[in-house]
Chain A
Amino acid sequence: MDDPDIETLRAGWHDAGGETELRLRAIRRRRWLPVIVTGAEVGAATVTALLGAWLIWHGLRAHIAAYSTLGAPLFACGFSLSIVLADARRASLTWRDETPGDLLRTGLRQVEASLRVIDIMRWYAVGILLFLIATRIVNLVKGEAHGPYTWLATGGGVTICGLYWLWLTGRRRKSRIEQRILARLLAEEQTA
């Protein structure tokens, strides 16, 4: 490319460089970190699954239902979590041959999907909140003997749902901004 303007710019451009050796030393230290972290995560999930399996087995042998009941979710969660973690790490380390436009499109789709999930969760929180309030209004939860406890449980539930709703609303606002910026970047990419 014999463009005199570009040649002039290139002279200035090549004056800006970096300390490659310094950075190489840093990544030599860093490159095994993701593997170690994944190993630890998968290891912890596997230990949880094994503990769950042991509790189920012990519960069945000793005829203690509580052990088996406790072990079943531990086994199910630990087992599925270890598979999900290993798969997520594998996917994150795989190079996907995407162009900048593809990346922006994928990012935008992910934000839109997360916005849909956030909206569903907000309605879910509102639903639980209304249900808890309704239980008090119609006095569905009767427990004169345990009055303070039922009030505490309902009040706690309402507070948690309220805080969760507020957090989701904040998250939704951030996702909307993210959606707007990604849409703008994608539009710039398409019109350039």
Chain B
Amino acid sequence: MEDVIRLYGPGLARTASSYERDPALRDELVQDIYLALLTALPRLRDAERLRAYIFKVAHHRCVSHVMRRVRERGTSSEENAVQSDDPPQEKALMDNERAYALMEAVRSLKLPYRQVIALVLEDLSYREIAEILGISESNVGVRVNRAKRQLKEILDHG
């Protein structure tokens, strides 16, 4: 089980980063995802669905995290992210400027677009993304195109 987490760890950390900007809360979120995986993985029957299953659990925990933040603070996490003022710390944690700019851009997208683009960038197929998000494959395509367009605008004019 730990090998699975080790293999997908960086991807799960990126998924958490796309939802939470605050480094301490993000770390907590990643740990929550790992704990959820420890509970959920034994229930997986079809090993071929492992990758999709792992990211489904991760996004499930991340959306729960957003809802918890809404409940605790009365604002959504993306609104908090705008108010947060610790980018230098995060910048130092990320390997380069490009990764930091991209993550910032992804975080500024609305939730449905952020989810699809984060999953596409993790190299999941449209079919897997559709399964994770509970939408049709054609809707995945529509969301990806919109997310790409918005990302391009943000990164070009950002």
* Cβ contacts A1-40/B at 8 Å (1 or 0 each): 1010110011111111111110110110011000000000
Whether the pair B70, A16 counts as a contact (CB closer than 8 A) is: no
Contacts A17-B13, A18-B13; A9 near B76 (Cβ below 8 A): no
- Contact yes or no, A16 B67, CB < 8 A: no
State how many angstroms separate the Cβ of A180 from the closest Cβ of chain B.
10
Given contacts A17-B10, A102-B134, contact A188 B34 (CB under 8 A): no
- Minimum CB distance partner of A177 in chain B: B74
Q: Which of A61-69, A92-100, A126-134 contacts B (4 or more CB under 8 A)?
A: A92-100
B39 and A185 contact, CB distance less than 8 A: no
- Whether A103 contacts B134 by the Cβ 8 Å rule is no
Q: Give the distance in Å from the alpha carbon of A9 to the alpha carbon of B6 in the complex.
A: 24
Q: B39 touches which one: A13, A95, A101 (CB < 8 A)? A: A95
Which of B34, B102, B115, B123 lies in contact with A24, CB distance below 8 A? B34
- A118 interface residue, CB < 8 Å from B? no
Indicate whether A20 sits within 8 Å of B112 (C-beta atoms), given known contacts A9-B151, A27-B34, A103-B60: no
A47 surroundings in chain B (CB, below 8 A):
none
B112 is contacted by which of A5, A26, A93, A192 (Cβ under 8 Å)? A192
Shortest Cβ distance from A105 into chain B, in angstroms? Answer: 11
A-B contact count (CB 8 A): 147
B57 to chain A: which residues have CB within 8 Å?
A: 95
Chain A 81-119 near chain B by CB (<8 Å), digits 1 or 0: 000000000000111011111111001000000000000
Give bound CA distance, A101 to B35, whole Å: 22
The distance in angstroms between the C-alpha atoms of A192 and B59, with both chains bound, is: 17
Contact of A20 among B10, B74, B102 (CB under 8 A): B10
**CB of B81 closer than 8 Å to a CB of A:** no
B121 near A188 with CB under 8 A, answer: no
* A100-B111 in contact given A20-B10, A95-B57, A192-B143 (Cβ < 8 Å): yes
* A174 at the B interface (CB under 8 A): yes
Give the size of the chain A interface in residues (CB under 8 angstroms). Answer: 44
Q: How far is the CA of A182 from the CA of B133 in the complex (A)?
A: 17
A6-B121, A15-B98 are known contacts. Are A188 and B10 too (CB-CB below 8 A)?
no
Report the separation of the CA atoms of residues A20 and B2 in the bound assembly, to the nearest whole angstrom: 10
Q: For residue B40, which residues in chain A have a CB less than 8 angstroms away from its CB?
A: 95
Residue of B59, B94, B111, B121 touching A9 (CB-CB under 8 A): B121
Chain B contacts of A94 at CB under 8 A? 39
Question: For B110, what are the chain A residues with a Cβ–Cβ distance below 8 Å?
Answer: 188, 192
What 0/1 readout, one digit per residue, does chain B (43-63) give for beta carbons within 8 Å of chain A? 100000000000011011001
Q: Which residues of B contact A (CB under 8 A)?
A: 2, 5-6, 9-10, 12-14, 16-17, 27, 30-31, 34-36, 38-40, 43, 56-57, 59-60, 63-64, 66-67, 70-71, 74-76, 94-96, 98-103, 110-113, 115, 117, 120-123, 125-126, 132-135, 139, 142-144, 146, 148, 151-152
The 5 closest A-B pairs by CB, nearest first: A18-B13, A20-B9, A99-B134, A192-B112, A15-B99
